[in-house]
Amino acid sequence: MTSWWHRQRVALIALLVAVVAVVGVHVWFDVLPASTDDTAVIEARNGSAEIAGQSLALDSARWDEFDAPAGSRTLSIRIESGGGPDATTCGLFTLAEAGGARVWSNARSVLDVPFDAGESFCQEESGPYVILAVFLLPDDAEGPFVLEIPGDGEVARFPVEL
Amino acid sequence: MAAGVRDSAAGAARTAFSRRAVPLWIAAAAVIGLLAGFIGFGGLAPASRTPAMVAAGDEARTSLYTVSVLDVELADTVESQFLEAEPGETLLLVTVRLENLSDRAVGVERSADRVESRLIVGREPMLELSGVTPTGTARSWRADESTRAVILQPGVPADVTIAWPVPDDAATAAAFDEGTVRLDAYDAVEQSGQVILAASTITWRRAELRAQLDLDVAP
Amino acid sequence: MPWFFGVGLLAVAAVVTAITPPDAALRDPFPVGAADDGIATSRTLAAAVVDVDRTGRITTSDEEWEAEGNWLVVTLSVSAPTTEVDAAIGVASLLIDGRLFQASERPPATLVGTDLRVGTDTVGMLAFELPADLRSGTGELRLSGRYPTPELDDVIVFPVDLADVPTATAVEIDEPRLGAP
C-alpha cells in the first residue's frame, strides 16, 4: 500500500509550484521598489554646463555676504548665464553636501537680500544676466558642496569648492 | 378530575422550575433584557420626523453640528473677501453660528486633515438653500475677517458668513417677500471611507432633513 | 458542563475582538517622542517645545487683531533634519479629552506651512482654540511634515498636561522667525 505522499505527488508538486509562483508575483509587484528616477544628470565641466536652453557658469561662491542668525552663515553663489533664444525657466536650486546627506534650498525669501542683486531663477532672457542663489548653512557645514539646477527634464550639477 | 388537573399543574411547575430548565430561564431573561433595553432607548419611536421650522436666532440641532442664523443680507460685492457677483446675480450673505458636535475638527468649505464635512459644497451639502436656487458654489469666511479657510473645532461655536450667488430677478425678490427662502439643515452621519487616494478619511454623509431656518433679509 | 465551556469560548472571542486593532491601523503613522534634550526628530522634522501658555485672549503684535476664547498657545523651535525641499509642518493637531483639534487658522501668523531650514531653527507659534469647558486633562500635540497626515510616516508627539500649563492674561502671536529660541 503506497503512502499518501506518494499517491498525491502530482497534486503536491502542483501546489508547490503554485505557492512559489504566487509568492514570486507578489514580491515582484508589491515588495520590490519601483524604478528610481531616471532624470539625466549633466556634470559641469570647468564650472559650466548647458541647462534649460542656456549656458550657465559658476562665477563665485562667497561666505557671510548677508546677515544670518547666530550659529549659521550665508553662502552666496553667483552664476552667469549667457541667455539666448532657447533660454527657458528652470526649477528649484538645491545645494547638497558632497559627502553627507543634507540638502539646502534657496533662502532668499527669509534673508534680507536686495532685489537687484541678481535673479532668483533662470530667466527667458536673450542677453547675459547673473543669477544669485543664497543658502543659509549651519556653521558645521564646511563643504565641498554640489549645486544642482534642474531644467527641462535634466539636472545640471556644479561642484562648489571653497 | 380536579386532582388530575392539580397534579398536572404541579408536574408542569416542577418541570418549569427544575434544574434542567435553568438554561432556558437564562435565555429568556437575556431576551427580555434586550427587549427592555431596546424599548428603553427609544426603539419604538417613529422613524422619520417632519423637519422643524426654526426662526431667526434660534438654534437647529443635528447629530454632528448646530446652526443658528444671526444675520441675512443681500449684497453685490464683499470687498474684504475680493468677492463680486456676476452681472444679473447678487450675493445672499447668511451669517450663522455653527458648532461642531463631532469629536474631530472639520473644515466648512475644504477638508481639514482627513475629515470632509461637505457642509456647504458638493452635490449634497448639509446646509442648502431652499426657495431660491444658487447659481454657483458657496463661499465662506469667519466673521472676524480671518483670511484662511474656516475650520470648526469640536465644541467651539464659530460665527461664519456663507455667501451664495443667487439670481437678481423678480422671482428671488418675490421669494423673499413671501418668506419662502429658508436654509435647510440636514442631519449628517460620519462615514469612515476607504477613498482611493487616502486610506482613512472621515466624510460627513447627508441624512434626513432636520430643520428649516427662516431667512428674512434685514430691511 | 459543555455550555460553560461554550460561554467561556464566547468570552474569549469577545476579548479578542475587542483588542484587535482595526484594519486602518495597518496604515497608522509612527509616533516619535522627544529625546532627552527635548528635541523630537522624525524623518522630515526636528521640533522642540519652547513654551506653552493658556490664555483668554490672543492678539497680534500690532494689536490689529485679537480673539477671545479658551486658547492654548504653543511656541516651537523647528528645523528640517536632512533636506529643505518641501520641509514644513503640514498638520498640527491636539488630541485631548477624546477630541482632535487642529491648530487654529484664525491668527494671522502661524507656524503651520512655514518653510523650514536645515541646521537653522525657525521659532514660531501655534494656537489651539478649545471649548470653554475644557479646563483640565492630558493630551498630546501631534506634528506631521505633510498635509494631510501621512500614513506609514513619522508623526512627532509631545505630551501636554493642561494642569501644568501657566495661564497668561493675553498672549501675542508673533510671526515665525529664524534663529535660536
Spell out the domain ranges in chain C.
29-178
Question: Is B119 domain-assigned?
Answer: yes
Spatial separation of the C-alpha atoms in residues A104 and B216, rounded to whole Å: 57
Spatial separation of the C-alpha atoms in residues A155 and B75, rounded to whole Å: 52
Quick one: what percent of chain A has pLDDT higher than 70? 96
pLDDT for B57 beyond 60: yes
Best residue in A92, A102, A140, A142 to probe C by mutation, most C CBs within 10 Å?
A: A102
Q: B6: domain range?
A: 2-40
pLDDT tens track for C70-110:
999 999 999 999 999 989 999 999 999 899 999 999 998 89
Residue B142, chain C, CB below 8 Å: the answer is yes
Report the b/e string of A137-158 with b at 16+ CB within 10 A.
bbeebebebbbbbbbeebbbeb
Residue C129, chain B, CB below 8 Å: the answer is yes
Strand (E) or helix (H) holding C54: strand C46-60
Q: Do C117 and A104 touch (CB under 8 A)?
A: yes
Same structural domain, B19 and B108? no
Same structural domain, B78 and B186? yes
Q: Do C82 and A105 touch (CB under 8 A)?
A: no
CATH class, C29-178 region = mainly beta
Same structural domain, B22 and B79? no
Same structural domain, B188 and B104? yes
Which of B65, B104, B92 is closest to B186 using CA atoms? Answer: B65
Q: Which whole-number Å values give the CA distances from A147 to A141, A144, B64, C117, in the listed order?
A: 14, 10, 53, 17
Residue C85: which of A71, A101, A105 has the nearest Cβ?
A105
Residue A103: which of C83, C115, C180 has the nearest Cβ?
C83
Same structural domain, B58 and B17? no
| Chain C residues within an 8 Å CB radius of B105 | 93, 100-102
Sequential DSSP letters for B4-39: HHHHHHHHHHHHHTSGGGHHHHHHHHHHHHHHHHHH
Q: Where are the domains of chain A?
A: 1-34, 40-160
Helices (H) then strands (E): counts for chain A? 2, 9
Same structural domain, B189 and B92? yes
Contacts of A72 (CB under 8 A, 6+ apart): A136, A137, A138, A139, C119, C120, C178
Same structural domain, B187 and B114? yes
Q: Do B199 and C24 touch (CB under 8 A)?
A: yes
**B touches which chains (3+ CB pairs under 8 A)?**
C
Question: Is B47 domain-assigned?
Answer: no
Question: Is B45 domain-assigned?
Answer: no
- Mean pLDDT split into 10-residue runs, chain A, 162 residues: 88 95 91 73 82 85 88 90 82 85 88 81 83 90 86 85 78
Same structural domain, B70 and B165? yes
Strand (E) or helix (H) holding A21: helix A9-26
Q: Which CATH number fits domain A40-160: 1.10.3430, 2.60.40, 1.10.1660, 1.10.4100?
A: 2.60.40
pLDDT for B161 beyond 90: yes
Same structural domain, B31 and B67? no
What's the structural domain count of chain B? 2
| Phi–psi pair at B61, nearest 5 degrees | -115, 130
Pairing of strands C30-32, B201-214: unpaired
Question: Is B46 domain-assigned?
Answer: no
Q: Calculate mean pLDDT across residues B96-113.
A: 90
Contacts of B98 (CB under 8 A, 6+ apart): B65, B66, B67, B108, B119, B152, B157, B158, B160
List the single residue in B with minimal CA-CA distance to C22: B200
Q: What is the CATH number of the domain that holds B57?
A: 2.60.40
